[in-house]
A and B are shown apart, each in its own frame.
Chain A
Amino acid sequence: MLEIHDIKKVFQRGTSSEQQALAGLSLCLQPGEFVTVIGSNGAGKSTLFGAIAGSFFVDRGSIRLDGEDITYQKEYLRAKHIGRLFQDPNTGTAPGLTIEENLALVYSKATRRFSLSLALRPADRRYFKELLARLDMGLENRLKAKVGLLSGGQRQALTLLLSTMVPPKLLLLDEHTAALDPLTAAKVMELTEEIAGQNKITTLMITHNVASALKMGTRTIMMDKGQIVMELEGEERKTMTSQDLLQRYRQIMHKELDNDRMLFSGEEE
């Protein structure tokens, strides 16, 4: 589904703050696979997502999605097949538009010709209600509420819905629950698993929570200095605890996982 071959990216080349954010990284995802990504701050995880989604072009290497070479495709064109969620719940929705307008924008664009016909039809509204009801946050009764009035968790759940309403080929989740309180985060995680599973969406999820990295999906990769330094799957992954994983990191990297949030969240569960 996704084939990344030896991509490199240097930021601020030629300055004193030159950063090799991606250092020859390769990665393949099978259709429907759910892979979690961990790694300390600055490891290049978000940069990897930026490269896949087209926020910038990589300096070297190639990216193929479902057989199509998208290495130099514009971001908004790739977005047709790639859904992306960020940590900040504000990034994925238009706060000044109502819930139904947000849904209608995405839905009409994806299912009909982008046009001068009405974006929101009565049948759509019924469908939106159904979709929103599945989130179980009471949003199905607030179709005409401005999205800016929703809580962070509600907004992030809505963003998840927007990105998957028409299932994308690839879903990129960049610490999408990190800004939410623990209860809401758990709820959004649950929705994520449900939606990705039901629609068999190929998914890459960055998380700082070692426990959810091991619990969700079928494969975990660890990044450091713009490369993949460890991959876990199968039996070994199933039996691994958060403590084991942190221990393994220490062995490989000869240092502690410097993300203390990650240590805490690892011990918590």
Chain B
Amino acid sequence: MDILGTLQLGFIYAILALGIFITFRVMNTPDLTVDGSFTLGLAVSAVLAMGGHPLLGLGAGFICGMAAGALTGLLQTKARIHPLLAGILTMSGLYSVNLAVMGGSPNLSLLQSATIFTVLRRAFPQIPKDYVLLISIVFLSLLCVTVLAWFFRTGIGLALRATGNNAAMVRASSINSDGMRVLAIALANGFVGLAGAVLTQYQNYADINAGLGVIVVGLASVIIGEVVIRKRSILGGLLAAAMGAVIYRLLIALALYLDFFPAYMLRLVSAVIVAITLAIPQIRELIGEARIRREAQNHAGNS
């Protein structure tokens, strides 16, 4: 089992999980834009790297992801389209946009191009390649956590969190809650786009279908992280999401290594994990009700 490689991938997906955490937990509305914005970040980053601007590629991946998120946000708030449908519309439309960005070809190879990782490796020739990758990726995702943890303590950040909680209260504080919602979804997709942008330069290729199902991967990461880190502060939540993504990768790698299931079952397993975890409160309630009924019957039987 390739532990270093798994950790590298895990910390790249941690950035995705941060984005998902913002919509799913902070705004309390899962957002389906991500399948499209992830690929958008990836496509933009690949094309810019091929043009000789790998670092610019990361920035552009973030910005383009934000633009996609903002569009979904506007569909939700200005056009009053159901949040899930708004996300689906953007995601669906992005498929064409992403293909256009990639010049109409469904995949691109970066093997001939400089990426941030080839640059870093050349800068630190004395450090083994895998460690350069891991350290830079860990650094980047921890930087994202730090920036977000700070942001959510600023005036605007606090307003975002309150909007996901009680939008009426935010309006009563004379803050435009619709604007806050658009900003939150934009920010979330910015991080999703960044994750795609890093991934494409890491694996040296871009694929139009790379984003398929990343929403479930992200949700699973957030949920797994919450099991491990139980602190419900905003920093706790961000760290949990990031760590959840790493643990998720490790679990999957382990399962594949031990041959628990073939690789093509991955999506199904992820979906089942998410479904079961989300159903746990309901399952607990059913068990509780059953116990009350049983005890009541015992009681009636005894007297």
Name A residues whose Cβ lies closer than 8 Å to a Cβ of B.
Answer: 75-80, 83-84, 90-97, 101-102, 104-106, 108-110, 112, 114-120, 162-163
CB-CB under 8 A from B173, the residues of chain A are 79, 105-106, 109-110, 162
CB distance from B287 to the nearest CB of A (A): 25
Chain B contact residues, majority secondary structure: helix
Report which of B151, B159, B164, B171 forms a contact with A105, defined as CB distance below 8 A.
Answer: B159
CB-CB under 8 A from B156, the residues of chain A are 114-116
CB-CB under 8 A from B262, the residues of chain A are none
Q: Other CB < 8 Å A-B pairs besides A78-B174, A120-B158, 20 of them?
A: A76-B176, A76-B177, A79-B173, A83-B172, A92-B169, A94-B170, A95-B165, A95-B166, A96-B161, A97-B162, A102-B169, A105-B173, A109-B155, A112-B155, A114-B156, A114-B159, A116-B156, A117-B155, A118-B153, A120-B153
Question: Could you say which of A77, A102, A104 has the most chain B C-beta atoms within 10 Å of its C-beta?
Answer: A102
Report which of A78, A97, A114 forms a contact with B155, defined as CB distance below 8 A.
Answer: A114
Contact at B151–A116, with CB atoms within 8 Å?
yes
Answer yes or no: B272 CB below 8 A from chain A CBs.
Answer: no
Known A77-B174, A109-B175; contact A119-B162, beta-carbon cutoff 8 A:
no
CB distance from B28 to the nearest CB of A (A): 9
Q: List 25 A-B contacts (CB under 8 A).
A: A76-B171, A79-B171, A79-B172, A79-B173, A79-B174, A80-B174, A83-B172, A91-B166, A91-B168, A92-B172, A94-B161, A94-B166, A94-B169, A95-B165, A96-B165, A104-B158, A105-B158, A105-B170, A109-B175, A110-B173, A115-B154, A118-B153, A119-B155, A119-B157, A119-B158
How many chain B residues sit at the interface, stated as a range, is 20 to 34
CB-CB under 8 A from A112, the residues of chain B are 155
Known A115-B154, A115-B155; contact A94-B162, beta-carbon cutoff 8 A:
yes
CB-CB under 8 A from A163, the residues of chain B are 172
CB-CB under 8 A from B157, the residues of chain A are 116, 119
Question: Could you say which of A91, A106, A112, A117 has the most chain B C-beta atoms within 10 Å of its C-beta?
Answer: A106
Counting from the closest, the 7 A-B pairs by CB-CB distance are A80-B174, A94-B165, A79-B174, A94-B162, A76-B171, A96-B165, A119-B155
Inter-chain CB contacts under 8 Å: number: 86
Q: Which residue of A lies closest to B154 (CB)?
A: A116
Q: Which residue of A lies closest to B177 (CB)?
A: A76
Query: CA of A120 to CA of B150 in the docked complex: distance in angstroms?
Result: 12
CB-CB under 8 A from B172, the residues of chain A are 79, 83-84, 92, 163
CB distance from A247 to the nearest CB of B (A): 38
CB-CB under 8 A from B164, the residues of chain A are 96
Query: CA of A96 to CA of B153 in the docked complex: distance in angstroms?
Result: 14
Q: Which residue of B lies closest to A80 (CB)?
A: B174
Query: CA of A142 to CA of B159 in the docked complex: distance in angstroms?
Result: 21
CB-CB under 8 A from A94, the residues of chain B are 161-162, 165-166, 169-170
Query: CA of A117 to CA of B150 in the docked complex: distance in angstroms?
Result: 9
Query: CA of A119 to CA of B159 in the docked complex: distance in angstroms?
Result: 10
Contact at B174–A116, with CB atoms within 8 Å?
no
Contact at A105–B162, with CB atoms within 8 Å?
yes
CB-CB under 8 A from A119, the residues of chain B are 153-155, 157-158
CB distance from B64 to the nearest CB of A (A): 22
Query: CA of A56 to CA of B127 in the docked complex: distance in angstroms?
Result: 64
Q: Which residue of B lies closest to A148 (CB)?
A: B165
Query: CA of A117 to CA of B225 in the docked complex: distance in angstroms?
Result: 29
Q: Which residue of B lies closest to A84 (CB)?
A: B172
Q: Which residue of A lies closest to B151 (CB)?
A: A116
CB distance from A99 to the nearest CB of B (A): 13
CB-CB under 8 A from B165, the residues of chain A are 94-97
Query: CA of A229 to CA of B180 in the docked complex: distance in angstroms?
Result: 42
